[in-house]
Amino acid sequence: MSIQRKKRKSKKKTKAPSLEWNNIKGVKRERLILERKKKGLTQGELAKLLSVSTSTISHLENGRIKPSLEVESGLLEIFNVPFEKLFPDL
């Protein structure tokens, strides 16, 4: 008996159906980055203030994760802006 191997199809990245859909994460990213830069902070400096990793700040800015309650309250204190301004879609 011969063993037949299944051919794996390579997964191609699909493009977003419209540019509007692509900009959802961009809007989140711009708000948080703008506030961070207004305060003159790098991602690393903001991460230290919040006691989180730099990658956590990066993921927040890119819209990959939602902020925990502790991070949320820290951002509100640091930036002195309402949560709805930083994360209007959450």
Q: Would you list the domain boundaries of the chain?
A: 25-84
**Whole-model pTM above 0.75?**
no
- pLDDT tens digits, residue range 31-75? 889 999 999 999 999 999 999 999 999 998 888 888 899 999 999
Query: With contact defined as beta carbons under 8 Å apart, do 24 and 17 qualify?
Result: no
Q: Tell me what percent of the residues of the chain surpass a pLDDT of 70.
A: 66
CATH topology of domain 25-84: 434 Repressor (Amino-terminal Domain) (1.10.260)
From the number of C-beta atoms within 10 Å of its C-beta (0-12, 13-18, 19+), residue 28 rates as buried
Query: With contact defined as beta carbons under 8 Å apart, do 39 and 79 qualify?
Result: yes
